[in-house]
């Protein structure tokens, strides 16, 4: 079987057109959707992600600003700034770029953001809502994955979904969302024995590990749907996923490429969450 390619870039483009229309309508109604990003330190990868968010917001008409803090900022100063943003009515979404400098407790930071402005969907209140199947801000990558599956009419009901990776940002929430839609979910991680056997039994395989080409066709069931969240930079500068794309594509029914798969969807869902926050839909 030659797999259908799930084109995240094209889908993201289409969604961004709708988001742009929503933003324009909000502006006509006197609401300027605004996202504030806080970044602490000079990590080049984080800086580049933030630039990506800035570009995407500008393209859709969302107002954006970034608060650049030195790596040595104290936790108290960072939390105080978040509290100010919580009270600022012109700010609808707050995102603190991770990772943070080591002396800052990430969980304290996440919990200080008001749940109604938590466009990352990381606040425990929003995670709790996700776990209990209530409407909330969904974490952007899992939200993007579920949106891709829906756009390609891939039903997960009753299917065996195997999630490799148990991060709080991707693995855990995407498994929960799949469960909420009646998939049978198995989580695998770095300590899992017989990982290949689990992967090979998946109707839907989600890989969020960060290891180039760790999954090849041996670990893929004929006709499986493969969602590759990995973004691994090779020595020659090219990007590749966790899945060996060419061999996997021979067996899968659907597969996301890297790049142009999950990546473009993640920022798109951040835009969507920001618009949702601006609409005042406090969940
Ligand atoms: N760093 C890497 N991914 C993310 C993300 O989704 N949100 C935030 N805040 N930081 C990140």
- 138-263 topology per CATH: Rossmann fold (3.40.50)
Q: Which residue puts its alpha carbon closest to atom 2 of ligand 1? A: 98
The burial class, CB within 10 Å (0-12 / 13-18 / 19+), for 237 is exposed
The full set of domain ranges for the chain reads 30-114, 138-263
The burial class, CB within 10 Å (0-12 / 13-18 / 19+), for 179 is middle
Give the span between the Cα atoms of 279 and 149, in whole angstroms.
26
pLDDT tens per residue, the chain (283 residues)? 689 999 999 999 999 999 999 999 999 999 999 999 999 999 999 999 999 999 999 999 999 999 999 999 999 999 999 999 999 999 999 999 999 999 999 999 999 999 999 999 999 999 999 999 999 999 999 999 999 999 999 999 999 999 999 999 999 999 999 999 999 999 999 999 999 999 999 999 999 999 999 999 999 999 999 999 999 999 999 999 999 999 999 999 999 999 999 999 999 999 999 999 999 855 4
Q: Tell me the C-alpha to C-alpha distance, in Å, between residue 57 and each of 44, 118, 244, 271.
A: 20, 16, 32, 7
CATH number of this structure's domain 30-114, picked from the four choices 3.40.50.2000, 3.40.50.300, 3.40.50.10860, 3.30.2350.10: 3.40.50.10860
Answer yes or no: is the C-beta of 229 below 6 A from any ligand 1 atom: no
Which among 164, 160, 42 is positioned nearest to 101, based on CA atoms?
Answer: 42
The interface pTM score, or ipTM, of the predicted complex is 0.95
Q: Which residue puts its alpha carbon closest to atom 9 of ligand 1? A: 97
**What are the beta bridge partners of residue 68?**
39
97 classed as catalytic: yes
Please report the pLDDT score of residue 1 as a whole number.
Answer: 65
Q: Radius of gyration (Cα) for the chain, nearest Å?
A: 19
Q: Which residue puts its alpha carbon closest to atom 3 of ligand 1? A: 98
Q: How do residues 151-160 score in pLDDT, each as one tens digit?
A: 999 999 999 9
Give the span between the Cα atoms of 212 and 230, in whole angstroms.
8
Name the pTM for this structure.
0.97
Q: Any alpha helices (H) in 155-223, and if so which ranges?
A: 171-180, 195-200
111 classed as catalytic: no
28 classed as catalytic: no
Instruction: Using most ligand atoms within 8 A of CB, pick from 36, 47, 138, 169 the residue to mutate for ligand 1.
Output: 169
Please report the pLDDT score of residue 281 as a whole number.
Answer: 57
Instruction: Using most ligand atoms within 8 A of CB, pick from 38, 41, 45, 95 the residue to mutate for ligand 1.
Output: 95
Give the span between the Cα atoms of 64 and 215, in whole angstroms.
38
Please report the pLDDT score of residue 157 as a whole number.
Answer: 98
Q: Which residue puts its alpha carbon closest to atom 1 of ligand 1? A: 98
**What are the beta bridge partners of residue 144?**
none
Give the span between the Cα atoms of 27 and 44, in whole angstroms.
33
Domains 30-114 and 138-263 share a fold: yes
Determine the angle formed by the axes of helices 171-180 and 124-131, rounding to 10 degrees: 30
Counted residue by residue, the chain has a size of 283
Give the span between the Cα atoms of 128 and 249, in whole angstroms.
36
Q: Which residues are annotated as a binding site for NADP(+)?
A: 165-167
Answer yes or no: is the C-beta of 125 below 6 A from any ligand 1 atom: no
Q: What are phi and psi of 48, to 5 degrees?
A: -70, -40
Please report the pLDDT score of residue 280 as a whole number.
Answer: 86
Contacts of 204 (CB under 8 A, 6+ apart): 149, 154, 156, 159, 160, 161, 162, 178, 183, 224, 225, 227
Give the span between the Cα atoms of 172 and 144, in whole angstroms.
14
Please report the pLDDT score of residue 12 as a whole number.
Answer: 98
Q: How do residues 182-219 score in pLDDT, each as one tens digit?
A: 999 999 999 999 999 999 999 999 999 999 999 999 99
């Amino acid at each position: 079987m030659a797999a259908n390619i799930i084109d995240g870039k094209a889908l993201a483009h289409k969604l961004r057109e709708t988001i742009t229309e929503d933003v324009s309508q909000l502006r006509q109604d006197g609401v300027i959707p605004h996202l504030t990003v806080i970044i602490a330190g000079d990590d080049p990868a984080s800086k580049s992600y933030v630039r990506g968010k800035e570009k995407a917001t500008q393209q859709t008409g969302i107002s954006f600003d970034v608060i650049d803090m030195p790596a040595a900022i104290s936790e108290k100063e960072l939390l105080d700034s978040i509290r100010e943003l919580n009270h600022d009515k012109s700010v609808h979404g707050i995102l603190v770029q991770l990772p943070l400098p080591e002396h800052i407790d990430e969980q304290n930071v996440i919990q200080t953001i008001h749940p109604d402005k938590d466009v990352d969907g990381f606040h425990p209140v929003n995670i709790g809502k996700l776990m209990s199947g209530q409407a909330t801000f969904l974490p952007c990558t899992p939200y993007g994955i579920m949106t891709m599956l829906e756009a390609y009419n891939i039903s997960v009901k009753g299917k065996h979904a195997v999630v490799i990776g148990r991060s709080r940002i991707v693995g855990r929430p995407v498994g929960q969302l799949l469960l909420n839609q009646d998939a049978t979910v198995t989580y695998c991680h770095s300590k899992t024995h017989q990982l290949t056997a689990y992967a090979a039994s998946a109707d839907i395989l989600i890989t969020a590990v960060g290891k180039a080409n760790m999954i090849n066709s041996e670990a893929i069931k004929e006709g499986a749907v493969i969602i590759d969240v990995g973004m691994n930079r090779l020595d020659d500068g090219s990007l590749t996923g966790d899945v060996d794309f060419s061999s996997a594509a021979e067996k899968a029914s659907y597969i996301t490429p890297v790049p142009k798969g999950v990546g473009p969807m993640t920022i798109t869902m951040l835009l969507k969450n920001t618009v949702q926050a601006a609409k005042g839909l406090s969940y």
